[in-house]
Amino acid sequence: MADPIDDAKRALRAEIRERRQLLTDAARRTAEAGITEQLHALVAAHGARSVSCYLSTTIEPGTRRFVNEAVAAGIRVLLPITRVDGLLDWVVADPEGDLTEGLLGVPEPVGELLGPIAVNDVDLMIIPAAAVDHTGMRLGWGRGYFDKTIGSMENCPPVYAVVYDTEFVDAVPRDRHDQPVDGVVTPTRTVTLAPERR
């Protein structure tokens, strides 16, 4: 039997993926510059000395420049490594480090693997999303890695999802296991939300 929530999620993800693929290189560069500026301001506002982030794919709002600049500024940045059991390992970001293809076919850093609990020590989490709504509910890409991570943390730091401006929406379909975020970062603004508590 079809699940209307799953169907709605799939349809919205497909629409967002298509919109992202239509962006020009110039629009991507402009968005990355905006995201970089917003993320630096967010890190400063939280006084964060250690953050988790991710290496954006070609269709995601760009985070790579931010990661490199944060590391250069002395911020410890943890990057996720996908595991077959649905959990995430972590690697300390190194702009000079190598990349390899991860489980999902996207580039992941090579380095000393830190276990899933390594993320418990960060001051701020910056995660990917397909969309975020005004209640803080995040629509991910369907694998559940970040929902599991956030849901399992005893003392979860502030979590901000990165999306394009058009992906900060009124509502996204949600399931019981979906975890809200504390805020959203777009190329033009950062919005702190008041999500339902995890």
**DSSP labels for 134-145?**
TTSBEE--SS-H
pLDDT attached to residue 56:
93
Considering only residues 44 and 197, tell me which one the structure prediction assigns the higher pLDDT: 44
Q: Residue 159: CA atoms inside 13 Å, Cβ hemisphere, count?
A: 24
Q: Per the domain annotation, does 110 fall within a domain?
A: yes
Q: Per the domain annotation, does 63 fall within a domain?
A: yes
Mean pLDDT, the chain, rounded, equals: 91
As a whole-number percent, the residues of the chain with pLDDT over 90 amount to 68
Q: Per the domain annotation, does 198 fall within a domain?
A: no
Using N-to-C axis directions, what is the helix angle for 25-46 and 64-72, rounded to 10°?
40
pLDDT attached to residue 86:
86
Q: Per the domain annotation, does 150 fall within a domain?
A: yes
Which residues span the domain enclosing 53?
4-192
Q: Can you give the CATH number for the domain in which 123 is found?
A: 3.40.50.10420
Q: Read off the pLDDT of residues 101-150 as tens digits, 9 standing for 90 and up.
A: 877 778 888 889 999 999 999 999 999 999 999 999 999 887 889 999 99
Does residue 104 contact residue 82 with C-beta atoms inside 8 Å? yes
Query: What pTM was estimated for this model as a whole?
Result: 0.93
Q: Read off the pLDDT of residues 20-47 as tens digits, 9 standing for 90 and up.
A: 999 999 999 999 999 999 999 999 999 9
Q: Per the domain annotation, does 170 fall within a domain?
A: yes
Q: Per the domain annotation, does 94 fall within a domain?
A: yes
pLDDT of 1 higher than 70: no
Number of domains making up the chain = 1
Q: Per the domain annotation, does 152 fall within a domain?
A: yes
